[in-house]
């Protein structure tokens, strides 16, 4: 039966290294950053929700307060344990600033909030290579890393090993990179994938 390889003993698959080292000249843009921080004090969520203008709290649906600020435009999930998740910022500095603003709001509502262990958990970037990509070909040659199921998702899901990033590659040439903890990982992943994508460029 074609296409079936018996499960082998585990070996670490390496992303194929391409010889050309010319830079692509395209820089992925960061679209979203998810970060967490510990406010280090127990919070009364009902109290916060009823005193803050920008907070919603639906205990039946989700056990956290959802708070939003306009500048930087972000959303935060604040849990009763004092932990907080901040999403929607476009740069690391913005994410930190937004998290500090949320902590300040919580402080002003009467809780002794601190700002411990701020950590960026995930960064999402996107860019456009400006040429159509033959996804069927890519999934054939890089089958160890790619997963392409048009019945489920129109894009090809490429799981790069080093750096550990997941890329969503679309036929229109748009690429989404996610799973990074640092900005450099996104740039590195894109520089790795660009020569591979060029190899599957539609001949025109």
Q: Which residues of 74-93 are buried (b: 16+ CB within 10 A; e: fewer)?
A: bbbbbbeebbbbbbbbbeee
Which of 14-22, 28-36, 82-90, 124-132 is the region at the interface with other proteins (rule: CB under 8 A)? 124-132
Of residues 19 and 52, the one with the C-beta less far from other proteins: 52
Pick from 115, 84, 98, 79: which is nearest to 32 by CA? 98
- Member of 28, 57, 84, 178 binding other proteins (CB under 8 A): 57
What's the gap between Cα 119 and its chain centre? 14
Residues 180-199 that bind other proteins (CB under 8 A): none
Q: Specify whether the backbone of 130 is left (phi greater than 0), alpha (psi in -120 to 50) or beta.
A: left
| 15 within 8 A of 143, measured Cβ to Cβ | no
- 190/45 Cα distance (integer angstroms): 41
Binding mask 102-121 for other proteins (x = CB under 8 A): -xxx-xxx---xxxxxx---
Find out whether the peptide bond into 202 is cis, omega within 30 degrees of 0.
Answer: no
The mark string for 73-102 relative to other proteins (x by CB under 8 A, - otherwise) is --------------------x--xx--xx-
One of 29, 73, 119, 150 touching other proteins (CB under 8 A): 150
Q: Tell me the closest approach of the beta carbon of residue 110 to other proteins, in angstroms.
A: 10
Is residue 12 within the footprint of other proteins (CB under 8 A)?
Answer: no
* Least Cβ distance, residue 189 to other proteins (angstroms): 20
Instruction: Indicate whether 25 belongs to the interface with other proteins (CB under 8 A).
Output: no
Beta-carbon contacts of 147 under 8 Å, excluding residues fewer than 6 positions away, are 139, 156, 157, 158, 159
Residue of 82, 87, 123, 148 that binds other proteins (CB under 8 A): 148
What is d(CA 191, CA 204) in angstroms, rounded to the nearest whole number? 23
What does the alpha-carbon distance between residue 204 and residue 132 come to, in Å, rounded to a whole number? 10
According to the binding rule CB under 8 A, does residue 3 interact with other proteins? yes
Residues in contact with other proteins by CB under 8 A are 1-8, 40, 46, 49-54, 57-60, 69, 71, 93, 96-97, 100-101, 103-105, 107-109, 113-118, 128, 131-132, 134-136, 139-140, 143, 147-152, 154-155, 170-174, 202-204
């Amino acid at each position: 039966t074609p296409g079936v390889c018996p499960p082998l003993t585990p070996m670490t698959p390496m992303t194929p290294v391409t010889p050309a080292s010319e830079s692509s000249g395209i820089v992925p843009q960061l679209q979203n950053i998810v970060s967490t921080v510990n406010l280090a004090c127990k919070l009364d969520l009902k109290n916060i929700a009823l005193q803050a203008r920008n907070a919603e709290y639906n205990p039946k649906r989700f056990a956290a307060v959802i708070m939003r600020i306009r500048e930087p435009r972000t959303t935060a999930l604040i849990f009763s344990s004092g932990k907080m998740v901040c999403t929607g910022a476009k740069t690391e500095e913005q994410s930190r600033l937004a998290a500090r603003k949320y902590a300040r709001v919580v402080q002003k509502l009467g809780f002794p909030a601190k700002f411990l262990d701020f950590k960026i958990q995930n960064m999402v970037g996107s860019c456009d290579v400006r040429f159509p990509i033959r996804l069927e070909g890519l999934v054939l040659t890089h089958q160890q890393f790619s997963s392409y199921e048009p019945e489920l998702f129109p894009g090809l899901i490429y799981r790069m090993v080093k750096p550990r990033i997941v890329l969503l590659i679309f036929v229109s040439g748009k690429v989404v990179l996610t799973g990074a903890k640092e900005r450099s990982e996104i740039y590195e992943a894109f520089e790795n994938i660009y020569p591979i994508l060029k190899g599957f460029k539609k001949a025109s």
